[in-house]
Chain A
Amino acid sequence: MNEFLTLMKSELVLTGIIFLLLFIKIGKGIKNESLLPLIQVLLLANFIFGFFLNQPGRLFGDMFYTTPVIAFQKNILNLGVYLISLVCADWLRKTPHLPEFFLLMLSALLGMFFMISSANLLIFYLSLELATIPVAAMANFDLEKKRSSEGAMKMILSSAFSSGVLLFGISLIYGTTGTISLPLLGERLDGSALQILAFIFFFSAFAFKLSVVPFHLWTADVYEGSPIAVTSFLSVISKGAVAFIFMTMLFRVFEPLHATWHLMLVILSIATMVVGNIFALRQQNIKRFLAFSSIAQVGFILVALTGQDYRYHMNSTAVIYFVLIYIFSNLAAFGVAAVVSEKTGRENIDDFRGFYKNNPFLSWVLALALFSLAGIPPTAGFFGKLFLITTGASDANYWYIIVVALNLIVSLYYYLRLVRAVFMDKNESAAEAVPVNAPVRLGLILCGAGILLTGVLSWIFDYIHSL
């Protein structure tokens, strides 16, 4: 019993919050103004609580397992949701269905927690669905906007398709190995043709969730249609969670098929980076812009997975570290976009021209975020990206690393485009001073501090590595 409580503590607390919201909803209801701070405090409490009582262990007949690393991954995701609840506070406060929104978002988060902890394909599939379906409902949350419904529809259809492919892959895997338990599975893989086919199906489902090219086509439309709170959840939290479990699957379970997936990763990571970068060059809408840039970022994450010394956990450390930094950077960028879009209704890059004049605080946060995404020091993005490339380069595949490094230049170009609009372009009708509320300000300051400090405080990396 005791073990049950400690090993599943994050999930239990989260479930508690979900039930609390449910009771509030069916009860008298609380005004958004007081409910939102309550949720924020609870999420923060869960985040802090997540650092204690972490030990490895297994539950439910080896269906669920946890280790300190997994607990840390869950904490990162929880932190991300907390930051979203801060930076998107303006929009959240106005939404008429706040309890429902958080019900859905936290259910999705719960699904991700179970997904990261799953040690069995059955629970993996269930939790993946739990992490996906609520998000599709969330994407539809701008109820009066047609684009929002369109995005939600695209998302649910493409998710259903990818789930089908995943299930087919799982059934083939079960057929060839006779087990769905992940530890056993790893031992029974021998690289037969059918297993490789099964793995390719399995892999493409992940590629779908991670928006790896050529499975990325749903991303931009869904991102553009959804409210910014949902877009940031999709681009940061979902991506992070899937990257974590993907990494575990590759390194722990499908390790015998290393030769197969290594080549696939090399090719797909280049395709993802190049396509994401090239499409990001021409975007006008800031959400679409960040959508394509997030595709390119996923390409960089894949680079780390191609590295050779995964046995030493360096790759997974680099990925976890990068996701942490990515949460800070991307949420800062989305946060600024959310504030501006909420106050002025503008979402285009051109609307940011001359923005610095009246909004120095928001401009600097945005600039920090963009430089971090581009990987320029002293921001943490520099360290994150460099370590991804470093672990990827352990393979001594120099042409590949040169291509990756050249992609850094392209991505710098389009991030600079936005910086240039904010700081340099002159604009007669520049945006007025946008008021920034206390929770939003706190969220942006936390993100900014994260961007500046996560890299320079080198023990964070070493701490993740030591887990």
Chain B
Amino acid sequence: MNLLLLIGAPLLTALAVLAARNKAQIKGISLAGSLVQLGLALALLFAYRQEKAAGQTAQLLFEQQYPLFRSLNISLHFGVDGIAVAMILLTSFVVVAGVLVSWNVEKMTKEFYFLLLLLGLGAYGFFISLDLFILFFFLEISVIPKYLLIGIWGSGKKEYSANKLALMLMGGSALILVGMLGLYFYAGNSFDITTLAAASISREMQLILFPLLFVGFGVFTALFPLHTWVPDGHSSAPTAGSMFLAGISMKLGGYGCLRIATYLLPEGAKEYSTIIIILSSIAILYGAFATMMQKDLKYINAYSSVSHVGFSLLGIGMLTQAAITGALMQMVSHGVMTALFFAVIGMIYDRTHTRMVAEMGGLMKKLPFISTVFFLVGLCSLGLPGLSGFVAEMTVFVGSWENPGTFHRIATIAAAMSIVVTAVYILRAAGKTLMGPVTNEEHLSLRDATWNEKLAAILLLAGILAIGLAPGWLNELLQPAAQEIMNRIAGK
């Protein structure tokens, strides 16, 4: 399969949106384009599985290379492994759902959809790139859409949040840039990941470069204590913006931490794993407790994202095959789940014009569909078996437990305890908003989800169930890639 399609389709869609004449055309083109992307991602999944079933053992499939800046030895080098396929699939689900839930955006519709599609484009490009420079390009390309989406269409203290997000992420990028340049010159003027993986990088150099890259990507994925943009950014963004930010953009960071920092610099990863484990355990617990104090539904989900993403980083820090597989599963699972959560919160907000838990009650009676989805995604978040959250978090715990030694055990136990806290805040929020009598009389006239909202919710729910009920296919995708990373860590 030609991976250029994955960039071409969103790009063409975005350009077509610019050329569209009216709102109906804009929405139609965006939906059609995002469905094409979903189709391409599914086709990629099948093509990948077919190749693997046919006995293809190479780690990277569908490789393509076109020289770009010849004199600097930069090329458009594309290729996917199992992780990338899973991430691309996640991206395409969230993009379709994001387009669907934005159906009622009235303010500057054309610009909104254009920026949304551009954000998706950045993610696709990021996941298929095998050249650090191009990867960095696609990572940074999302700065403009993120900033404008939050600042123009957001709510609350949106300008502050947009600024904070843009600057903190730029800070992360600055660190990545330095680490990237270090690799470039150390490995003989190449940004190519395959070349860099083959180069032998001295231990001293790894110890310098690893923190730069890991912390740099860590900012994107809410590494404690650099997570502070997450709550503000997510809660100020428009619904689709939050879905993209939490569902896709944060995963870019996790992918980078694992696929770039840990994969290319295994010695560094081993050296710093203790610190990663401590920080991610703090993030998990701190995120969970901070969520308990929140009164705004979006803040609840934003802080719980900090906690949930912490599981991914914990899995990476544990450095066992199962833990890394679990970390990757958590990324995919959390991406779908949090996107759905934000979508549901957006749906509720559109109707009640409030996100404060205290101002709502008994929504189940008037909004049965939305409330049911809310409840399901809440159960997924607290790790109910049968839904994706359980599978992912369980794998992380099992993998973490494989590490002998008190330190790792304590960290694992501490992280596992957060599930109890999660149950408290999820059940409390769901109980207050959904159950009981309708507290606000204005809410008696609310209408349930429209077709586009139902479609978006069902799509993402299908994702959650597909991982929760039959995790085998995802495991097959991620396991070999995790194995490859473990091989490098073990020095094979």
Contacts and interface: CB of A to CB of B under 8 A. Distances in A.
A394 B174 CA distance: 17
Nearest to B163: A416
B69 A376 contact: no
A377 B151 contact: no
Interface of B: 68-72, 74, 133, 137-138, 140-141, 143-144, 147-148, 151-152, 158-159, 162-163, 166-167, 170-171, 173-175, 177-178, 181-182, 184-185, 208
Contacts of A281: none
B143 A465 contact: no
Q: Which interface class (under 10, 10 to 19, 20 to 34, 35 or more) fits A?
A: 35 or more
The 10 closest A-B pairs by CB, nearest first: A405-B174, A465-B71, A393-B181, A458-B68, A424-B151, A377-B141, A409-B170, A458-B69, A377-B140, A462-B70
A60 interface: no
Contacts of B182: 393, 396, 398
A424 B152 contact: yes
A387 B69 CA distance: 11
Contacts of B137: 377-378, 382
B178 A420 contact: no
A413 B167 contact: yes
B69 A382 contact: no
A378 B158 contact: no
Given A398-B178, A406-B174, A462-B71, A420 B159 contact: yes
- By secondary structure, the A interface counts as helix
B170 A420 contact: no
A461 interface: yes
Contacts of B177: 386, 389, 405
26 contacts: A314-B72, A376-B140, A377-B143, A378-B137, A382-B140, A386-B133, A393-B178, A393-B184, A393-B185, A398-B178, A402-B174, A405-B175, A409-B171, A409-B174, A412-B166, A416-B166, A424-B151, A424-B152, A424-B158, A425-B159, A458-B68, A461-B69, A462-B69, A462-B70, A462-B71, A465-B71
Contacts of B184: 390, 393
Interface centre among A389, A393, A405, A423 (most CB of B within 10 A): A405
Interface of A: 314, 317, 367, 371, 376-378, 382, 386-387, 389-390, 393-394, 396, 398, 401-402, 405-406, 408-409, 412-413, 416, 419-420, 423-425, 458, 461-462, 465-466
B141 A408 contact: no
A423 B148 contact: yes
A12 B269 CA distance: 62
Contact of A378 (B70, B141, B152, B181): B141
Contacts of A377: 137-138, 140-141, 143
B210 to A, nearest CB: 13
Given A390-B181, A409-B170, A416 B147 contact: yes
Nearest to B208: A398
Nearest to A395: B185
Contact of A314 (B71, B74, B140, B175): B71
A382 B144 CA distance: 12
Contacts of B181: 389-390, 393, 401
Contact of B178 (A402, A423, A424): A402
Given A409-B171, A413-B163, A420-B159, 18 more contacts: A314-B71, A371-B144, A377-B138, A377-B143, A378-B137, A387-B72, A389-B177, A390-B181, A390-B184, A398-B178, A398-B182, A402-B178, A406-B174, A419-B147, A424-B152, A458-B68, A458-B74, A461-B72
Nearest to B137: A377
B71 A409 contact: no
Nearest to A376: B143
Given A394-B185, A458-B69, A424 B159 contact: yes
A459 B79 CA distance: 23
Contacts of A376: 140, 143-144
Nearest to B118: A378
Nearest to B158: A424
